[in-house]
Chain A
Amino acid sequence: MFGYYLDLALRSLKRNRALTALMVLAIAVGIGASMTTLTVMHLLSGDPLPGRSQRLFYPLVDPDPTRKDDREPYDVMDYRSAVDLWSAHRADRQALIVQSDLKSSAPSSGLPAVKLTMLSTTADFFPMFGVPFQYGGPWRAKDDAARARVAVISSDLNDKLFGGADSVGRVLRLRDSDVRIVGVLKPWRPSPLFYDVAGGRFSNGQTADFYGKPEDVITPFFTGLDINDGHFQQFTCWHIPDTPGHLQNAPCVWVRLWVELDGAGKVAAYRRFVADYAAQQMALGRFSHAGNARLRSLMEWLDYNGVVPSDVRLQTWLAFAFLIICLFNTVGLLLAKFMRRSGEIGVRRALGATRGAVFAQCLVEAGLIGLLGGIGGWLLTLAGLWLVRRQPAAYADMMHLDLPMFLLTFVAAVATSVLAGLLPAARASRLAPALQLKTL
C-alpha cells in the first residue's frame, strides 16, 4: 500500500509543479536556517571532553580580604592557594594552569621572531585532558619540580616553524631562554577551550573568544614562571602589585587549578578538603572568610560562565520562529493542494477507500515533500555553515555538519512536513464522497 501511495504522491507532486516547488522551498529554507543555527549551538554547547568531563573539577577559594562569604569567589586563584592545593596531591590528577604572551624564535628555523601564547602547566595536564601527541610525549612530574627547560608545542606552531616535521629535540628560544621540544601535539581543539574559561559572568554574553585555539607553546608551570617573569597578567588584584607582571606574592588572582576525581566519594572528600583548606587559611589569618570555597564540575563551570555566546542563542531563537513561519506556510499550501484534489479523493472514497486510507495517502504525500525539502534544507545548511565559517568569530573554523546533525536535518524536515500535513490530511479525509462526485 505504501508503494502505491508513494506513486500517487509522486504523480500529484508532478501535476502542480509550482505549488510543489513552493512547499519544498518553504520547508528547505526553514530547515536550512534552523539546522544551521542548531549545528552552531550543538557544537558550541557540547561537551569539550566527552567521556572525561564528568571526572574533571575546578576548585576555587576566595583570598580577597575585602570581600565576604555572600559573594562568589573570583574565577581564578592566587598563587599560594593554587600551589598549596596542587602540592597536597589529594586528587587523582591535578594541573596548575597559567597563560601568558611571549616572544619566541626557533634559532634553527631561520624565521623572524613571532609573538606566541604560552600555557604553563604541570605534567598531569596531558593525561588528565587526554591531549593527543603527534611526536614525542609529555614531560614527567619530576621535570615540574626541576624547572626543566622543556616544552610541548602545538601542531600549528610545528607547521609554522618546522614545516610539520618531527621537531622533538629541537630548541626553541622563549624570550631569553632556550627550551628543548619534547612533544608535538596532534591538532587538538576542545570546544570551548574549557581550561581557560573564566570571567564569563562579566562578559555580557560576548563569549565567542572562549572557543579560541589552544596555546602555541606549553611549558612546565614553574619553568614558565621563570622564563616569562614580569609578563603575567592578573585576572584581578585587590591591591596594586609591587612589581607588575611578577605576581607570585602579589594580592592578585591569576592561577587556575583543575583536578580529576573519580567517583562521588572522592568528589565529596575533595570538596571537604578545599573547604578545610580555606578554613585553615582563615585560622592562619591569611583569609578573612572561608565560607565561599567552591568545587564545580567541568560542565557546571561552563554553565556558570554562560559560555555559549548570546548572539548564537539569539540566532537559534530566531531560526525557530522562522521554522514556525515556514510550517504555517506549508500547512496553508498543503491545504490548498489537497482541497484542489477533492474530486479525486471523492472518487477514491466512493470506490471504497476508507478515511484512514485517504489520511495515510495525504500524509505520505506530505512526508515526500518533507524529504525533498530535507535535501534542500541539507544543501542550505551546508551553505549556511559555509557562511558561518567565514565569520570573524573565534569558533568559525570548527563549524561543520556532523553525522547526528546530518540525520537530524532529514528527520526534522520529514517530521515538520508530516506535522504540517496533519490538519490538511484530516480535512481531506472527511470530505463527503457524494458531494465531490457531483462536481466532477
Chain B
Amino acid sequence: MEIRPILATLRKHRIPALLIVLEIALACAVLCNAVFMISRRVSNIHLFNGIDERGLVVVNLNGTDPKRASSEIPRNLAALRGIAGVQAAAITSSVPLSTNNWGWSFGLTPEANVSSHNTTNVSLYMLGEGGDRALGLQLREGRLFGPGEYAAGALGDAALPQGHVTVLTESLARRLWPGQSALGKTLYSRPYYYTVVGVAADVLRPYFGTWNPKMYDVAYFPVNYDAPLGTYVLRSAPQERDRVLREAVDKLQALNPAAVAKGSTYADVRAKYFADTSSMAWMLVLVCVVMLAVTALGIVGLSSFWVAQRRRTIGIRRAMGATRGAILRYFQTENFLLATLGIVLGMVLAYGINLFLMKHYELPRMPAAYFPVGAVTLWLIGQLAVLGPALRAAAVPPVVATRAA
C-alpha cells in the first residue's frame, strides 16, 4: 500500500484530519485511565476474605441489658442452634466489612502501652465459644482457642479481655515477625499481654476504607458470655441461609422484646460495604462505552463526508484500474494512520492525566500494561467505524469519472 498519496490528501484536509486525531487522542487517554480505575475497583470488590462468606448469616441484637448478658447470650445461642439447618452459631464483637471497628494498638516489648510509639494498630474480633467454627476461620499454623481459654476471657467494661492468648492473620504475623514463626510470640499493651497460639488465613478488618496494606491487620481473642457483645453469626448451607436469617431474626426478637434485632446475610454485608465502589465502577464502564460510541460515530460522520467529497477522484482511480479492494484498503490505511497518530498523542495525554490523578486523588502510577489496552481498542474502533464509509467508497463505479465535474 502506497502511503504517500494518503499523506498528500491528508495535508489538503488538515482540519478534519486533526479533529479525528484529537478525538482519538482524548478518547484513548480517558479510556486508559478509566480502565485502570475500573480494574482497581473490581479488585477491591473481590478482595480475599478468609471466612465462609457464602453460608454466613449475621444478626445484630442492640439494646440488651449488659448485666444480663451472661444468662441471655447462652439462652439466645441455644435457641439459634435449634433452628433447622444451622451448623454453628456463636457471638462475636463484629464481622469483617461491617464498618463496626474495634481497634487497638499493640507493641512487641513488655513496656508498650496503647499510646506508645512503634505500636501496630489492629482490629479486634472477640469471639465467643464456637466463633471460629461459625465464621469458618481457616487455620494456617498452631491452634485455635480451647474451652478453658474462652471461659477465662472476661471482658466486662474493659477494652480488652482478661485472657492471654490470641490468633492473628497471616499478613499481620508476617509483618510483625518477618521471616519467623509468630507462634509463641507475645503482643503487649500494658497491662495486657497476649501470646500468639495460632495463625489463620487473612480476614479483612471491619473497616479499612479502600485497598491498603494494613487491611488484614486482625487479631482474634476468646471471650466468655459475660462480655456484652451483640453480633450473632450463624453458619448454614448457602441455599438455606435466607430462611435461617428470617428465623434467627424472629427468634432473637421474640426472646428479647426490649431490644432491636437486625440481620442480613454475609453476602449482603459485603455488597453493602462495596456498594459505592461497585456503583462507581459501573458508572465508569458506562462512560467508557458511551464515549467510544460517540468517537466511533464521529469517525463514521467525517469519513462519510470525506468519501462523498472524493467520489469523483475515487471514480477516476477506479477507471484507471484500481480494484475495489485497493479503494477499501486506501480508506482503511488512512484511518489507521490517523488513529496511530491519535494513539501516540493519547498515550502522552494518558500519562499526564495519570500524573494529575496521582497528585490529587492518591491514585498509584498506572502500570504500563494499561497503555496497549487503549491503543488496541481505538485501532479496532477506528477500523470498525471506517468500514461502512470505506465499503461505500469501494462501491463507487468507474463511470463516475466520465460525468461532468
Contacts and interface: CB of A to CB of B under 8 A. Distances in A.
Contact of A339 (B23, B115, B284, B305): B305
Contacts of A239: 115
B259 A113 contact: yes
A322 B287 contact: yes
B287 A325 contact: no
Interface in A301-324: 310-311, 313-315, 318-319, 321-322, 324
Interface residues of B, number: 52
Contacts of B159: 240, 244
Interface in A95-142: 103, 112-115
Given A103-B260, A239-B115, A335-B16, A324 B62 contact: no
B30 A322 contact: yes
Interface in B341-392: 357, 361-362
Contact of B276 (A240, A311, A318, A319): A311
Interface string B198-232: 00000000000110000000000000000000000
A331 interface: yes
Contact of A29 (B259, B280, B294, B304): B294
A25 B209 CA distance: 39
Contacts of B275: 391-392
Contact of B287 (A114, A240, A318): A318
Nearest first, the 4 closest Cβ-Cβ pairs linking A and B are A336-B305, A103-B63, A329-B298, A392-B275
Given A112-B260, A244-B157, A325 B23 contact: yes
A238 B115 contact: yes
A161 to B, nearest CB: 14
B16 A26 contact: no
B186 to A, nearest CB: 20
Interface in B1-40: 15-16, 19-20, 22-23, 26-27, 29-30, 34, 37
A26 B209 contact: no
A113 B260 contact: yes
Given A328-B26, A393-B276, A205 B287 contact: no
B69 interface: no
30 contacts: A66-B115, A103-B62, A113-B260, A115-B62, A115-B63, A115-B262, A204-B209, A204-B362, A205-B361, A208-B276, A243-B157, A314-B37, A322-B287, A325-B27, A325-B294, A329-B294, A329-B297, A329-B298, A332-B19, A332-B23, A332-B302, A333-B298, A333-B301, A333-B302, A335-B15, A335-B16, A336-B16, A336-B301, A336-B304, A392-B276
A33 interface: yes
Contacts of A22: 297, 300-301
Interface in A182-230: 203-206, 208
Nearest to B60: A115
Interface string B292-328: 0011011011101110110000000000000000000
Contact of B259 (A103, A244, A311, A335): A103
In this complex, the member of B19, B29, B157, B300 whose beta carbon has the largest number of chain A beta carbons within 10 angstroms is B19
A114 B260 contact: yes
Contacts of A324: 26
A311 B38 CA distance: 12
B294 A26 contact: yes
Contacts of B280: 311, 315
A409 B114 CA distance: 55
A427 interface: yes
Nearest to B274: A392
Interface of B is mostly: helix
A114 B405 CA distance: 84
Given A112-B257, A328-B19, A427-B15, A205 B157 contact: no
Interface of B: 15-16, 19-20, 22-23, 26-27, 29-30, 34, 37, 62-63, 114-115, 157, 159, 209-210, 253, 257-260, 262, 272, 275-276, 279-280, 283-284, 287, 290-291, 294-295, 297-298, 300-302, 304-306, 308-309, 357, 361-362, 405
Interface string A13-45: 000000100110110011001000000000000
B362 A315 contact: no
A321 B26 contact: yes
Nearest to B29: A321
Contacts of A244: 157, 159
A370 B297 CA distance: 18
Nearest to A396: B279
A89 interface: no
In this complex, the member of B37, B63, B301, B305 whose beta carbon has the largest number of chain A beta carbons within 10 angstroms is B301
A112 B284 CA distance: 42
A311 B260 CA distance: 34
Contacts of A392: 272, 275-276, 279
Contacts of A23: 301
Interface of A: 19, 22-23, 25-26, 29-30, 33, 66, 103, 112-115, 175, 203-206, 208, 238-240, 243-244, 310-311, 313-315, 318-319, 321-322, 324-326, 328-329, 331-333, 335-337, 339-340, 391-393, 423, 427, 439
Nearest to A311: B280
Contact of B20 (A30, A66, A319, A332): A332
Contacts of A311: 276, 280
A206 B62 CA distance: 27
B290 A329 contact: no
A19 B304 CA distance: 10
Given A26-B297, A337-B305, A393-B279, 11 more contacts: A113-B258, A113-B259, A204-B210, A319-B287, A322-B30, A325-B26, A328-B19, A329-B295, A336-B16, A336-B305, A339-B305
A26 B15 CA distance: 19
A332 B306 CA distance: 11
A329 B37 CA distance: 25
Nearest to A324: B26
Given A321-B26, A329-B23, A19 B260 contact: no
A4 to B, nearest CB: 26
Nearest to B26: A325
Nearest to A239: B115
Contacts of A326: 294
Contacts of B27: 325
B23 to A, nearest CB: 4
Nearest to A342: B309
Given A318-B34, A332-B16, A423-B15, A19 B301 contact: yes
Contacts of A337: 305
Contacts of A322: 30, 287, 290-291, 294
A337 B301 CA distance: 10
Nearest to A246: B157
Contacts of A25: 297
Nearest to B209: A204
A397 to B, nearest CB: 15
Contacts of A115: 62-63, 260, 262
Contacts of B287: 33, 318-319, 322
A410 B362 CA distance: 35
Nearest to A321: B30
Contacts of A66: 115
B291 A325 contact: yes
A149 to B, nearest CB: 19
Nearest to B295: A325
B309 A339 contact: yes
A335 B19 CA distance: 10
Given A203-B209, A392-B276, A30 B302 contact: no
In this complex, the member of A314, A340, A393 whose beta carbon has the largest number of chain B beta carbons within 10 angstroms is A314
A366 to B, nearest CB: 15
